[in-house]
Amino acid sequence: MRKFIKFSFLFIIFLFLFSTYSQSETDKLPKEVPKFELKSDTDKLIREIPKFGPKKDPNKSTKKWFQQPQNFKFLILLAILFFAAISGTMRSTESTEKKNKLSESKEKPKHEVRFTIFFRDKNNKIVLRNAEDSHATKPRVKGVQNGSESYGHLEINDLILSINGNPTKTVLDYTKEKKKLEWGQEVTFKIERKGKILKKYITPISFESWKEKIAMLGIDVLPHKKKYIKVSKIHFFDSVRPKFDSPVLIAEGDIILSVNLKKIGSIEDWDREISRFKPGQTITFKVKRKMKGIIF
């Protein structure tokens, strides 16, 4: 748009200069030489000095554009009208494009589809979508949120082979395929479970439905001495610590002995128990904290 305005402005200046130059050249053209009368006392002879230049045929037209340059000032008005029409068209086109982009952004969901399952890498850390190990970790399910759309369809230790027919060899592949999906769309999962190949059909309802069913505990754990698990990280704004000034009920370094009276001796035990949690549910932990013995 800016380039067009500059070009139009230069074009108008060019027309103005060209018109001025043409008018000045017209003024410079030779005019007719006035007649002189030379009179003699004897015969009173009148002699007329001819005009400069070749003789002209009176029957032929003598009007030529290069001999009598025209006034091009009227083109300036045409250029201005042309510029106004084009600029108006371009503005309407730009406004239409902006409206289309705005409508597309409104139609496009803000949150990608979620199935409320998680994976772990070879070091037993939960694999996030941007994690470095996502390209090397197989999409083997380690937890399924109780009450979610995936619950009852996918189970712990299921290996996801494909989504809607597209292979998912790694967690990164799974993440890429998940980004193509839309809320309300039926999704076909091809999985391997205990040596059998199965197909499961899951329809994620909406992001609001997902928020209502997700239980955000906010605790990461790692194996400890082969028969325990230890809290490795606490996340803020989750159930374990919803605010910065919330009391520290579970702390990093705590060894978790049981959850809801069920003994926890491995990562698998922990994943199985937290998959049973529901929003609003009260959870009882039995932990061992260094220098303070057993805490209920």
> Hey, where are the domains in the chain?
1-30+64-108, 117-212, 215-295
Q: Do domains 117-212 and 215-295 have the same CATH topology?
A: yes
Strand partners, 187: 202
CATH pick for 117-212 out of 3.40.50.150, 2.30.42.10, 3.40.50.1820, 2.40.110.10: 2.30.42.10
One pLDDT digit (tens) per residue for the chain, 296 residues: 555 565 666 666 666 666 665 555 555 545 554 444 444 454 444 444 454 445 555 555 554 444 444 555 555 666 666 666 666 666 666 666 666 655 554 445 578 899 999 999 888 888 875 556 677 889 999 999 998 999 999 999 999 999 999 999 999 999 999 999 999 999 999 999 999 999 999 999 999 988 888 888 888 899 988 788 999 888 775 656 656 566 677 888 999 999 999 999 999 999 999 899 888 888 898 999 876 555 54
Q: Which two tokens stand for residue 127?
A: 């694999």
Run of H or E including 17: helix 2-28
Cα–Cα dist 143/209, whole Å = 19
Coil, strand or helix at 160: strand
Q: Which value, to the nearest 10 degrees, does the dihedral of the CA atoms of residues 231, 234, 235, 240 take?
A: 90
Question: What's the CATH number for 215-295?
Answer: 2.30.42.10
Q: Are 257 and 293 in contact (CB under 8 A)?
A: no
DSSP state of 114: -
**pTM for the full predicted model:** 0.59
Q: Judge whether 229 and 174 are in contact, CB under 8 Å.
A: no
From the list 110, 195, 107, 119, the residue with the least C-alpha distance to 150 is 119
- The Cα–Cα gap between 217 and 241 comes to 9
Q: How far apart are CA 64 and CA 78, in angstroms?
A: 24
